[in-house]
Amino acid sequence: MREILGRRRKLLFRRGGKSALLGAALHCAVEWQWPVLPGVGLQGAGRPSDGARRESTRRESTRQANGWPGRAARACGCPDPDCVVPGAHPFDPGLLAATTDQRMVRWWWTNRPDASIVLATGGRAPCAVSLPAVAGARALAALDHFGVRLGPVVATPTRWSLLVAPYTLGELGELLHSREQVPSSLRFHGEGGYLALPPSQIGLGRVRWERPPAPRSAAPWLPRVETVVDALVTASVSAPEGGSRLAY
């Protein structure tokens, strides 16, 4: 009897852990009206084969040669053997399938309970600006110092992403045109873009909230991109390597 109860407790614990992703996906889609879809999976957990270990070693050597931080703990489930955002992007279904429909979201994560949560940015959904983690910490410190109100900030082991109000490519182009330098490490997630949301597990580790949304049902408040971009550019330029590396 004790063994049966123990197994039931373990099963409930596992279901509870996986249901965190379903709950978060439903909250984003239904409460906040953010279109989401499941991200591509990671390659299986089990003991890797000799060939997989050799491939992992080759990838790590390439990462170090290019100055990329950290180690890709698990490879992406997509066909690209050199995927730079393992587990953090859509594949099947594609990005256009992103939805706020509760039934579709529930069906996806019921069938793929470990899938990462991918936000389709732009349109009526939030956009984002991301930069390497070191530069991101500097930028947030500068924005806090000047009393700039921020929205949610998403963090992975290598990058921080500031969610901002929706912007168009035209608006972004005009905004960046007057700047002498825009580091390549600064990335813009607008119309047609995407971003992995907490509590997803991606190849480089866990996605988390560096600045969580306010605990309320209404969609989180978002700043306009022009109020934060100067601090992000400055922090990226002053970061190691001058912000010239993408540092996914």
| pLDDT 10s digits, 32-51 | 999 999 999 898 733 444 45
Give the rounded distance of the alpha carbon of 37 from its chain centre. 13
First-to-final CA distance of the chain: 50
**Residue among 143, 165, 108 at smallest CA distance from 231:** 143
- How many residues make up the chain in this entry? 248
Q: DSSP of 147-178, one letter per residue?
A: T-----EEE-SSEEEEEE----HHHHHHHHHT
Instruction: Report the pLDDT averaged over residues 216-229.
Output: 89
pLDDT (0 to 100) of residue 113? 94
Find out whether the peptide bond into 90 is cis, omega within 30 degrees of 0. no
Q: How confident is the model at residue 73 (pLDDT cuts 50, 70, 90)?
A: low
C-alpha to C-alpha distance for 66 and 60, rounded to whole angstroms: 10
Cβ count near 141 (within 10 Å): 11
| pLDDT 10s digits, 81-123 | 889 899 999 999 999 999 999 999 999 999 999 999 999 999 9
Sequence spans of domains, the chain: 18-243
Sheet holding 187-189, edge to edge: 187-189, 127-132, 159-164, 153-155, 208-211
**Residue among 39, 188, 40 at smallest CA distance from 118:** 39
C-alpha to C-alpha distance for 177 and 95, rounded to whole angstroms: 29
pLDDT over 50 at 79, yes or no: yes
| pLDDT 10s digits, 150-200 | 999 999 999 999 999 999 888 888 888 877 777 778 899 999 999 999 999
Q: What is the DSSP letter of 213?
A: P
Each as own residue / partner, the long-range contacts of residues 54-61 (CB below 8 Å, 24 or more positions apart, any chain) are 55/81
